[in-house]
Amino acid sequence: MGAYILRRLLLMIPTVFGIMAISFVITQFAPGGPVEQALANLSGQNVSLTERISGGGSGDLAGQAPNNPVGGKSTGYRGSQGLPPELVARIEKQFGFDKPPLERFGMMLWNYLRFDFGDSYYRDASVVELIVEKMPVSISLGLWMMLIAYGVSIPLGIRKAISDGSRFDIATSTIVIIGYAIPGFLVAIALIILFAGGSFWSIFPLRGITSPGFDTFPWWRQVLDYFWHLVLPITAMGLGAFATTTLLTKNSFIDEIGKQYVTTARAKGLTENQVLYRHVFRNAMMLIIASFPGAFVGAFFGGSLLIETIFSLDGLGLLGFQSVANRDYPVVFATLYIFSLLGLIIALISDLTYMWVDPRLDFESREV
């Protein structure tokens, strides 16, 4: 077991390196980098802004953090015509693009190994502060959606397995598959039209995760207000989340129910509930339990861009989209590094969970 874990941990190093290297190379060819945007803004603005950049002060352009050695082009900038070369060089240095790409990539990796993710180019905050600031929204959406999905899907899947082929099984399968097929953003729009003052009722709020003056509410009203704001977003995100877990639970139970040990247990005179929950449940739930660590972490970092945009929720999904659109490379690369590392760690934890659920698994002889 120890050798297998060590191999997996060592394999994470080239995997993360490859992800970051490919992403870094792609940004070298992406137009509209931060330097190009700054030059384009300067070419269309007055001289006072030019003096602000070319002067001797230490202030950064629009709160940009200097010397963040991450992607972007460093030569051939569009919009630099007519601007002094010294000004272009100063802007390059301010963004950290005055160094060769390989040196910038090496500096980025060294900083990330020390968990130093730098500051955002366009926000007056560090990358870590931005992620921590946006995380409560994504946690609220993902965590409650996961708990509701598991809380509904597992009992529903067991009930469908027991009544396989019945009208209940066919009807519920139809409902969950249709829910899975409908995109979440269409459900969100329909919910807004129906329940958020679109054309019918105005029952639920349309924006934010709390109401104005939330801090002044008594605790019981804060709880009600919090869940009141979450009803529509979680409904839109969770409608399609039931299908996979429900059908996986059903199929796992059906597979276990048909095995010889179940027949033996019944022959010993055990009741159906004893057979189902004392013998079948643990074996049938192996896949579900093993996938829980990934789902749990995904709930924290699985922000939905469209849902957050539709309901005006400022979470990680919206932060990631805005960072890519604005070429805010420190935020883009830091979140990519963190999520990639977490994904690899959770994949290892999921494999170890399999062994905890079923000790018959032998990882020592498994090839990575």
- Domains of the chain from N-terminus onward: 2-122 (no CATH), 128-325 (1.10.3720.10)
Judged against a pLDDT cut of 90, whether residue 356 lies above it is answered with no
Judged against a pLDDT cut of 70, whether residue 268 lies above it is answered with yes
What per-residue confidence (pLDDT) applies to 62? 40
Query: What is the pLDDT confidence band of residue 60, given thresholds at 50, 70 and 90?
Result: very low
Q: Which residue has the higher pLDDT, 334 or 300?
A: 334
Judged against a pLDDT cut of 80, whether residue 52 lies above it is answered with no
Kind and range of the H or E run holding 58: none
Query: What is the pLDDT confidence band of residue 352, given thresholds at 50, 70 and 90?
Result: confident
Judged against a pLDDT cut of 70, whether residue 363 lies above it is answered with no
Per-residue DSSP letter, 62: G
Query: What is the pLDDT confidence band of residue 302, given thresholds at 50, 70 and 90?
Result: low
Phi, psi torsion values for 119, nearest 5 degrees? -115, 155
What per-residue confidence (pLDDT) applies to 81? 57
pLDDT tens digits, one per residue of 105-161: 888 899 898 888 888 887 888 888 988 888 888 888 888 888 888 888 889 998 998
**Furthest-apart CA pair in the chain: how many Å?**
91
What per-residue confidence (pLDDT) applies to 17? 92
What per-residue confidence (pLDDT) applies to 299? 61
Q: What is the mean pLDDT of residues 211-235?
A: 89
Judged against a pLDDT cut of 90, whether residue 93 lies above it is answered with no
Average pLDDT, the chain: 78
What per-residue confidence (pLDDT) applies to 315? 83
Which residues face 119 on adjacent strands? 126
What per-residue confidence (pLDDT) applies to 78? 56
CA distance 65 to 9: 33
From residue 153, give the alpha-carbon distance in Å to each of 29, 111, 257, 272, 344.
Answer: 45, 43, 19, 21, 26
Q: Look up residue 125 and give its two tokens.
A: 């905050």
